[in-house]
Each structure stands twice: as structure tokens, then as C-alpha cells.
Amino acid sequence: MEKKIAVAVVEAVKALYGAEIGTEVIQVQPTKREFEGHLTVVVFPLLEVSKRKPEETGRSLGDYLVTHRKELVAGFNVVKGFLNIQVAASCWVEVLNGIQSEERFGFIPVSAEAPLVMIEYSSPNTNKPLHLGHIRNNLLGYSLAEIMRANGKRVVRTNIVNDRGIHICKSMLAWQKWGNGATPMSMGLKGDRFVGDFYVLFDTYYEEEQLNLKAEGLTEKEAEQRSTLMAETREMLRLWEAGDTAIRRLWKEMNEWVYAGFEETYRRLGIDFDRIYYESDTYTEGKKEVERGVSEGLFERRADGSVWADLSAEGLDQKLLLRADGTSVYMTQDIGTAKLRFDDYPIDKMIYVVGNEQDYHFQVLSILLDKLGFAFGKGLMHFSYGMVDLPEGKMKSRKGTVVDADDLMDEMIRTARVISHDLGKQEDFSTEEAEEIARLVGLGSLKYFILKIDPHRNITFNPKKSIDFNGNTGSFIQYTYARIRSVLRKAKEQGFTVPDRLPSDTPLASKEEALIQLLATFPLLVQEAGERYSPALVANYVYSLAKEYNQFYHDYAILRETNLSVRTLRLMLSYNTAKIIHSGMSLLGIALPERM
């Protein structure tokens, strides 16, 4: 509709002022709620050709449009330099017909020639279960992939599992020392939780060791250097990289326990991947590239054998790439992973979904890849997002104070079950159906609460506040969708149908026009969300749509409407509102119940 108005204004400018201008000069935007109208034309850019005051220019343009384009413009008003246009009702009917004709309205089909975007998210360590921070990462990555696909991009969703390193050896060493041969099966625990407990146990003994060393008069740095636990851990990592059979066997067994736990959590969360890379495979490629960098004079090997990159010319510091004992660091792995990915896929855009505490890391990674001669180095994008905490404060993995992802999902489902029961929303459902609705509402509320907030902001997540059937929550949107589906089911039972098209002379009320206008903006919203990498834009649009529909539902009869044309219009409006709510929530990875 904005394009049609812009073309009509170009026509008016030529007729009134004899000036040839392009539509790119015309600024058309939705009219603010406090003013009457649907779309507003900003008059100020046209004053140079009109040679008149803003109000006079607006009135002359409005008069022309009402007279010569009455099939498009039904009326207007001018507020200073803004021409507020009332779009003809027949145009809104045609807009609704267009929305009705496209089941995937707002989505661009993906072609084989479309740009390929690879999105990395999750990136767990195999020394602990997924936690609340991982939930935000996974939800952002998955949603971003869906938004990119809706914008016509080919997408590869990828994960890098950090399955080796000093942190993994801490869990392994703790199990060797204090595990007494226990397994997840013998303890009745998920594998990732089982291994994570040993990571916490290591830190408990390490802190005790440090306190004893400091009691002997050692400084904190001296105590760290004298730690026998850390020395054993470093030796275990050295043996792992050397291919020690026994260490590798233990490493493989413990990682398999963790992978089984991860898979269960991903499945519950509705997250999956097209390709998974493992640091244990990619770090060797990274070490080769670092050694090549040394031979080409790009990096420096110091007297102790460690390898460093001097980034002072870029305004940064010295960056360690290989330790003195030859073992690799995260940066080594990321160099190798990037190389392998671009060898495997014709990637046009590489996006890393990683928290903002790693901003420096990815700045350095981009520079190092560029130094190594990889053309893709400068084009890497770090999708940096804020941290997520609880009202009680910051989470710490080593202290065992993180919120386990599975525990949080259980709590969300339990909270949804209790709230639904208290509100009397489960009275007509079987036990199985009530439980499934609680699952959908609990997980939907969790996802929506996290995704509705700008990714760059930190979040304090409060489970109970996220489930509210009357606020800006996932459960409110789910309830609105279920309400619409109930209306449509009852309409079908009563023999009322939604046609493929409405007659152009179908009468419209103001709230119906406003709802159609909001539905029509969905394609632009999807495009903007893709350009700004923002699931929050989608979430808040869907909330606005649900809120607008509920006001419409409150003010107008649908099934009780006796005028056939009006009833049919309102059923079509309801059908397409539900369709776009479903499409928008699908971009967030949120499922919608048919009944609530």
C-alpha cells in the first residue's frame, strides 16, 4: 500500500507542479495513533518543487489524490508538514484478499541460487550440562536461522562442541580420583548432569587445596603454581593431545555420556543442527595454520615454545595461540573450525552467536584469519548478545550455581500447569491434553520471554513473571491463537466458511481496517528482522497483532453477526490473523496449542 501511495504522490507532483521526481523521494509511513488516517506522507522533501508552505502543499496534494485517485484515497487531513491519508476501504479489502491468497504470506521462497548463511550457536562444553545461558544462545541462534530462511536465504545451522581442553580434563581427573567407577546409569542421572557434578567436585577440592597452600604463607599466584591438581590436569591434557590410549578411552566414554544428555535437552527445547563440528577434530587444523603462520613470519615462537600473535599494530595486545607445552587454546580451534567450514560449504555469510563477553575473541579471530590470508576473515559476524541471570544474581558453573536447562524447563511446565489450573483453563481437557498444553505454554513462555528482549541487552529471567495470560508474554499470544482457532472451529460447525476472496465493496469498520493494515506490514517486519538480526522485532510484532485482535474481538461480533458479508469478512480476518501469528511464532521456535 505504501508503494501505491508513493506512486500516486509522484503523479500528483507532476500534475500540480510540473516536476518529475522518483518514488524514492516520497516518504510514506503508518499514521501515528493520535492522528486520523492510515498512511502519512512527509511533505517537507517536496517543498523544493511545490514552492509553497508545508500545510498548503499537503492540502493541494490531498485534494488532487481525493479527486483523481478516489479508488485509492478516500480522505485526508494535514498536520503541519504531514499529509495523513485515509485509504479507500476497497483497497484494504484487496490487501486482505492478497494475504488470504498466500499461505506463507511474508516469507520469501528459498532458491538453489540464494546466498548461503551459516549460523553457529550452542557451542557447549562437554564438562557440564546446558544451562540458562545456553538456552538464550540456542533460542537466538535457532530463531535467527528461521528468520534468515524466511528472507529467502539458504541456511546451515551448525554447532561446535568444545569437547577437549583443560576444563574437560578437570571433570575427567575428578572422576578418576573420586568416581569409584560410577556411571550415569548406576547413579540414575542424565550423562551431562553426571559429568558436570565432577566438574564442580574438582573445583571444590581445588579450592580446598588453595586454602591449605595459602595457609602455609604462599601468595595466590604461588598457590596456583604449586597446585598438584592443576598440574595433573595439565599433564592429562598433554597426554590427550599426544594420543594416550587410556586417556583417550576415558575421554570418549565420558563425552558419550554428555552427548546423550545434550541430545535430550535439545529435543525438549526444539533445537537442532544441520552440521556439528567437534573441537577435537578442528584444533589440529588450527595448529597447522598457526605453525604456517610461524613459518611465514606472521606469528612469534618464544623461548619457552609458546606461539603468540602481536596485534599491537591493530591497537590490541599479544595473543597466545599455542601454549609452551604445545597444547592449543580456543583461538587455535576457532581458526581451524573456520577453515574447515569454508572448505565444506560455499558460505556467503558466517554468523557466530556467542555472548558479549567474547567480543574481543571474535575481533581477534577476524584479524588472525585475515593475516593468514583467508578472504573470509573480515566478513565474519559476531552476533553478540547480553548475559542472562536470575533475580538471585549471576550464575557460576564451577560453583554449581547455574540453572540447569532441564530443571528450568521442568519448572516452566510445572508453573504453567499450576497457573492454568488456578484459572480454570483445564476443566474440559483430558489429563494427557492438559499436560501437553502445560508443556507448550511453559516452553513457549520461556522462549518468548527471552526472545522478546533486544539481544544486546542483559536479561534477568523470572520464571513466574514470564507466564501471564494478560501481558506481553508467550502465553497471552498462545491464548489469542487458541481463541481464534476456537472461533474458526465453531464457524465450521455452523456451516460458515472462509472464501478465497471478498467482494471489493465489502464494508469495513475502522478497527477492521487497522487490523488489515497491521497484517499487511508482516513482510516488511520479517525483512527488517533479517536486516537487523533481531528476533525481538518479530516477538513484539506478534504481541501487537494479538493485542489488536483481542480489541477487535471484544468490540465486534463474529459468529453472532447477522450480516453475511460482515461475518465473512471477520472470519477471514480471524483466519489470517491466526495464520500470521502462527508464522511469526514459528520464527521464534514457539509451538501453538489449538485449544487452551
Mean pLDDT by 10 residues, the chain (596 residues): 92 92 92 92 93 93 94 93 94 96 96 96 94 94 98 98 92 96 96 95 95 93 94 94 95 97 96 95 94 95 95 93 89 94 95 94 95 92 88 52 85 88 74 91 94 92 75 93 96 94 93 95 97 97 97 95 95 98 98 92
In DSSP notation, 495-554 reads T----S---TT----HHHHHHHHHHHTHHHHHHHHHHHT-HHHHHHHHHHHHHHHHHHHH
Strand partners, 158: 120, 275
What pLDDT is attached to residue 428? 77
What pLDDT is attached to residue 427? 67
- Rounded Cα–Cα distance for residues 133 and 139 (Å): 10
DSSP 8-class letter at 360 = H
Stretch(es) of the chain classified as CATH 3.40.50.620 = 121-389
What pLDDT is attached to residue 398? 45
- Rounded Cα–Cα distance for residues 196 and 201 (Å): 9
Stretch(es) of the chain classified as CATH 3.30.1360.70 = 2-87
Instruction: Give the tens place of pLDDT for each residue, 419-442.
Output: 877 776 666 788 898 899 999 999
CATH class of 121-389: alpha beta
Stretch(es) of the chain classified as CATH 1.10.730.10 = 445-587
Strand order in the sheet with 28-30: 28-30, 39-42, 82-87, 73-79
- Rounded Cα–Cα distance for residues 526 and 549 (Å): 20
Burial of 396 (0-12, 13-18, 19+ CB in 10 A): exposed
Angle (deg, nearest 10), helices 535-555 and 132-150: 80
Its pTM stands at 0.90
What pLDDT is attached to residue 425? 66
Contact 148, 530 (CB under 8 A): yes
What pLDDT is attached to residue 326? 85
Contact 353, 144 (CB under 8 A): yes
3-class secondary-structure state, position 445:
helix
- Rounded Cα–Cα distance for residues 91 and 416 (Å): 42
On whether the 2-87 domain is CATH 3.90.1150.10, my answer is no
CATH tag, 445-587: 1.10.730.10
Angle (deg, nearest 10), helices 535-555 and 564-587: 160
State which amino acid sits at residue 212: N
